[in-house]
Amino acid sequence: MAAPRPEFFSADGPEAARWGEERRAMVATLRAMGIRDPRVLAAFEGVPRHRFVPAPERDLAYADTPLPIGLGQTISQPYMVAAMTEALQLTGGEKVLEIGTGSGYQAAILSCLAAKVVTVERHRALGERAWALLAEFTASGGPGFARVTGVVGDGTLGCPEHAPYDAIVVTAASPAVPEPLLRQLADGGRLVVPVGGHGVQTLERHRRQGDQIVSERLMDCVFVPLIGQFGWKE
């Protein structure tokens, strides 16, 4: 990952040192909780999470907790973003699809770790806020955010115009694995998705190997519902 230029953080003014310290403490927590991939940890150190958190909640930006972002949606807990990202096993050259842009934070993390990121959000207002933030960081020297393409729509259908994908991450909980996402995986591609009812779900990883899909259960998790044709009905 290219290092962020100093002016990337300069908009924080005198607060920059405080946010930097909190960000490093968050990364230490992620390491202590078992996140090992050094590229993932570096991305978490490089992306200013507080800018993706709306002002009323900003003081908690680096706490290991989900936070509200409006329209009943959340920016996910840092550990869960890190665990899902690590499970994608990115090495730098991949095309990644994210379903559920939300705040734009995970898209920013992914853009530090892959060649191209397509991110789909069903709420236009959330998507547009996230893409404006990502564009702002690109303009101020942020690492890789220009690699992100934002789309408004039903992500349970995937995004066929940019398929196939080396990695797909779904950041909302689905009653079952959305079939179109499996179809849009490249050979060797990984799909990481929370599956289950309202309440607790299981984070699953599905890997395409030719015509076969090999599936693993990774951990318990709790997500807002994935609403769409191959998810929950509204």
- The verdict on whether 76 is a catalytic residue reads yes
Q: Which stretch binds ligand SAM (CB under 6 A): 6-14, 96-104, 160-168, 183-191?
A: 96-104
Q: Which stretch binds ligand SAM (CB under 6 A): 9-17, 116-124, 133-141, 210-218?
A: 116-124
Which is closer to ligand SAM, CB of 61 or CB of 185?
A: 61
Under the binding rule (CB under 6 A), the answer on residue 156 touching ligand SAM is yes
Under the binding rule (CB under 6 A), the answer on residue 111 touching ligand SAM is no
Two tokens, residue 156: 């349970």
Two tokens, residue 146: 């220009």
Spatial separation of the C-alpha atoms in residues 48 and 119, rounded to whole Å: 19
Residues 159-218 that bind ligand SAM (CB under 6 A): 171-172
Work out the number of other CB atoms within 10 angstroms of the CB of residue 34: 10
Kindly tell me which residue out of 120, 159, 193, 195 binds ligand SAM, with binding defined by CB under 6 A: 120
Under the binding rule (CB under 6 A), the answer on residue 84 touching ligand SAM is no
Taking a C-beta distance cutoff of 8 angstroms, is the pair 204, 226 a contact? Answer: no
Kindly tell me which residue out of 27, 43, 75, 163 binds ligand SAM, with binding defined by CB under 6 A: 75
Which is closer to ligand SAM, CB of 121 or CB of 166?
A: 121
Which is closer to ligand SAM, CB of 7 or CB of 220?
A: 220
Helix residue spans in 62-175 (DSSP H) = 78-87, 105-111, 124-139
The torsion defined by the Cα of 52, 54, 55 and 56, in degrees rounded to 10, comes to -140
Phi, psi of 225 (to 5 degrees): -70, 145
Spatial separation of the C-alpha atoms in residues 210 and 221, rounded to whole Å: 29
Which is closer to ligand SAM, CB of 154 or CB of 209?
A: 154
Under the binding rule (CB under 6 A), the answer on residue 86 touching ligand SAM is no
Under the binding rule (CB under 6 A), the answer on residue 137 touching ligand SAM is no
**String of b and e for 35-73 (b: at least 16 CB within 10 Å)?**
bebeebbbbbbbbbbbbbbeeebbeebbeeebbebeeeb
Under the binding rule (CB under 6 A), the answer on residue 48 touching ligand SAM is no
Contacts of 196 (CB under 8 A, 6+ apart): 173, 175, 202
Q: Which stretch binds ligand SAM (CB under 6 A): 27-35, 101-109, 133-141, 193-201?
A: 101-109
- Report the interface residues with ligand SAM, using CB under 6 A: 73-76, 99-100, 102-103, 105-106, 120-123, 126, 154-156, 171-172, 223-224, 226-228, 231
Q: Which residues are catalytic?
A: 76
